[in-house]
Structure formats: structure tokens, C-alpha cells
Structure 1
Amino acid sequence: MYDPTVARLTYRALLGRRRALILFSLPVLLIGIAALVRGFTGADDQVAVDVLGGFALATMVPLIGVIAGTGAIGPEIDDGSVVYLLSKPLKRPTIIVTKLTVAIAVTMAFSAIPTFIAGMILNGNGQQIAVAYTVAALVGSIAYAALFLLLGTVTKHAVVFGLVYALVWETLFGSLVEGARTLSVQQWSLAVAQKVAGGDLVASDVGLPAAVALLVVVTVLATWYAGQKLRTLTLAGDE
């Protein structure tokens, strides 16, 4: 269920000059904000939660997921080059799982690592906040990558729809509208962070069992349906 050649080509596509510049800019911005905040406020647990929750988890992680998830397969479908990949003797689930693995790895690397660094800068991992949000970024990366990889297979406007989801649903509604919070990857990830941190500083509107179940279900269903869409593309090409 994993092909090294497909993985290598996907890594090369995702880490090309243009995407790499965007991928690096968000972590650099987060770390820069953390350094400035620490300089002005000193080590403060609540400020660390505000920065890591408000920017890292609510904005940076989903945006990186959009770039990695849609970029793993969307451009190949858009320009038609996916036909060459589909002509190889590879099972379609293998292609999807390989590309998802790469998208998850890239999303984790460019979100979890800078989140941990920013957390250490902000309060030196006081109250386990840096570790908690790092774990949240890791589990969130899996669901986001799967969702946005699926978007890349179902629409040519995957980046647009992905940005709408990341910036409007996750950042705005997922943070402010109570009913929408329970249907937010951000809140599911926060439930995991809350368990790691303990105490009252990190909080989620979703219980941990439900959050874990939803993260697994969304990831599995998105991966499965992406595979089905790829099968459809193959049949269309054969016709």
C-alpha cells in the first residue's frame, strides 16, 4: 500500500520552490510572533494558549494541510499528467495511500515542529502547553491531509474550497460559533491537547472519545472516497 517512486515524485512536487516558500513562511511567521510576544509579555501560560490555539492550530495547521493535501494530487489531475501515473501497474488505493502518507508527513513537519518551537519560546512548555498543541497539530495534520487530498480528487478548485474551509469554517465558525465547533477538526484536535495538558487552560467543546472517533472516521472515509474517485478517473480514461 506504499510505493516509493510515487512518494518521491509527490515529495518533489510538494517541496518545489513555490510551494516550499509558502510552507516555510507560515512556520517562520508563527515563531516570529512567539518571539515578539515573549519579548513583550514574558512567559505566560494563557498567552501561550492564545497564540498556539489562535494561530498555530486554528490557522497554520489547516492552511498547511490545504497546500500539502491538495498539492499531493490536485495539480496532476488538473493538467492531465495523472494519466501517466494511472497507466502504471499500481493499485489505485496504493497511489492514494502513498500520496496521503506524503501529505501527512509534510503537514506534520511544517506544523507540529514549529508549534513545539513556538510553545517553548512562549512559556518553556509550562503546563505541558507546547507538547499538548504539538500533539494536536500532529493528529490534526492527519485529518486535514486526508480531507484536502479528497478535495484534490473531486474538484479543480480544491485550493479555493480548501481555503474557504480552513479560513472560514475552521478559523471563524470553528472558533466562534458553538454549533459548528463540534464539526471542526480544530476542536477534535483540541480535545487531544486538553487530555495531554490537563487542567483548564486548554479546552475543547468535544469530548475525547468522540473527538478520536471523528478523527478516525473522517480520515478513513476521506481516504476511501478519494480512492473511489481515482477509480472513476481510470474508467473515464479507459473509455
Structure 2
Amino acid sequence: MYDPTVARLTYRALLGRRRALILGALPLLLIVIAVVVRVLVGADDQTAADLLGGLALATMVPIIGVIAGTGAIGPEIDDGSVVYLLSKPLKRPKIIYTKLIVAIGVTMAFSAVPTFVAGLILNGNGQQVAVSYTVAALVASIAYAALFLLLGTVSRHAVVFGLVYALVWEALFGSLVPGARTLSVQQWALAVGHKVTGGELITSDVSLTTATVLLIAVTVLATWYAGQKLRTLTPTGEE
């Protein structure tokens, strides 16, 4: 269920000069801040956890997921160029699966890798902080990519909706309303990261069982529905 040609075109679209600059801005900012904090504060485990949790996992990962997930297919639908892809003898779910793999790969590369680097800079992975948040970022990348790829398939305003979810629902409501955390990709990823590494400074309000079930359910259902939605598009671009 993977097409190399679709993957190559998607990578080219996501890693074009303009989008690559946007994708690289937050990781670069994270690493710069990590260097400054290390110089000013020293190797402090709690500071490292706070920075990776607040800036990396809560902000950088979902924003990169929005850019990669929606950018994998949204622009093609918006400008009508998707009709050329749909005219090829390819099963439409296969197109979605391929674009999802690319979106996951890009999200992981631009979020999990800099998270690990920043963690090493901040405290040298003391108390497994760097590895814990890197695992969480990897897990979150999968769910975010699937969720935002779906948004890119069903809405012309996918970026706006994605940012609202990431920055308003997860960051704002998640910090103010305890019940909202159950529906937070961030909290699901934290639960997995804590279990994998046993790091004491990474915690979640969601149990591992709940987090695992919801991560799998969101990823599978979002991918399936995106494939179904793409089926409704005709080669003329009309539903």
C-alpha cells in the first residue's frame, strides 16, 4: 500500500524551499533556546522537562504535524492538481496511505530529532528526559499526521482547524479543563513515553491503556475516513 511516485511527489511538495523553511523554524528555535537555557541555568532536569514538555511536545510537534499532515494533500485538492493524481490507475486509499507515511516521516524528522538534540543539550538525558520526550514526540507524530491529513482531505481550512485544535484545545483547554486532557494527543503520547522510558519527570493524566487505544483508534479511523473521502472525488474534481 505504498507508491514510490506518490511519495516522491509528496516529499517534493512538503520539502520545497518555502515549506522547508517553515518546518525548520521551530526546531531551530527550540535548539537555540535549549543552548541559551543550558548556558544560563546549567544542566537542570526539571527545567529540561518543562522546556521539552511546553515548547517541544505541546507546541512544536503539533504545529509541524499540521504543516506536514495538511500539506501532504490539502494544496493539491485546493488548486485542483489532485485530479491528475486521481486519473492514474491507483487505488485512492493507497494514495492516502502513501501520503500518511510521508507526513509521519516528515513530522518525526522535524520534531522528534530536534527534541532529542535539545534534551541532550539541556541536561544530557538526565533522568531519561531527552529519550522520554523523544518517544512521546515520535508517538504523537503518527496521530497528528493522520488527524491533520484527514483535515486536509475534508476541509479547505484544514490549517486553521488544525491550529485551533493544537493551540486552543490541547494547549489552552487542556491546561484549564482536566476532562479535556483525555482527548489530547499530547497526553496520550506522554503516557506512552513514560511507560517506555520510566522517566520520573514525564507524566500523563491518561492511563497507558486508554492512551494506546485512543492513539490507535484515531490513527486508523482518520486514515480510513480520509481514504473514503478521497474516493468521492472524481477526476473532474467534482463530488
User: Is residue 2:168 matched to residue 1:168?
Assistant: yes
User: Is residue 2:203 matched to residue 1:180?
Assistant: no
Q: Report the aligned-residue RMSD.
A: 1.3
Alignment deviations for residues 118-137 of structure 1 (CA, whole Å, 9 cap, x no partner):
00001100111100100100
| Alignment size in residue pairs | 239
Alpha-carbon offset, residue 233 of structure 1 = 1.1
Contact map agreement 1:113 1:134 (CA 8 A) in 2 = yes
C-alpha distance in structure 2 between counterparts of 1:193 and 1:99, whole Å: 26
C-alpha distance in structure 1 between counterparts of 2:173 and 2:194, whole Å: 20
Q: Which moved more, 1:162-171 or 1:22-31?
A: 162-171
3-state secondary structure, aligned to 1:182 = helix
Q: 1:55-66 maps to which residues of 2 (within 5 A)? A: 55-66=55-66
Alignment deviations for residues 183-216 of structure 1 (CA, whole Å, 9 cap, x no partner):
0000000001211342532110001111111100
Question: Structure 1 segments of 4 or more deviating over 4 A?
Answer: 235-239
CA shift in 2, pair 1:238/1:33, >3 Å: closer
Contact map agreement 1:174 1:187 (CA 8 A) in 2 = no
C-alpha distance in structure 2 between counterparts of 1:152 and 1:89, whole Å: 22
Gaps of 5+ in 2: none
C-alpha distance in structure 2 between counterparts of 1:78 and 1:197, whole Å: 42
Q: Which residue of 1 aligns with 2:107?
A: 107
Alpha-carbon offset, residue 18 of structure 1 = 1.0
Q: 1:86-235 maps to which residues of 2 (within 5 A)? A: 86-198=86-198, 200-234=200-234
Gaps of 5+ in 1: none
Alpha-carbon offset, residue 237 of structure 1 = 4.3
When the two structures are superposed, what TM-score results if normalisation uses the length of structure 2? 0.97
Q: Which residue of 1 aligns with 2:22?
A: 22
Matched-pair identity in %: 81
CA shift in 2, pair 1:160/1:58, >3 Å: same
Alpha-carbon offset, residue 238 of structure 1 = 7.3
3-state secondary structure, aligned to 2:160 = helix
Q: Which residue of 2 aligns with 1:13?
A: 13
Q: Which residue of 2 aligns with 1:53?
A: 53
Alpha-carbon offset, residue 177 of structure 1 = 2.0
Alignment deviations for residues 52-86 of structure 1 (CA, whole Å, 9 cap, x no partner):
00010000000000000000000000001101100
C-alpha distance in structure 1 between counterparts of 2:114 and 2:137, whole Å: 10
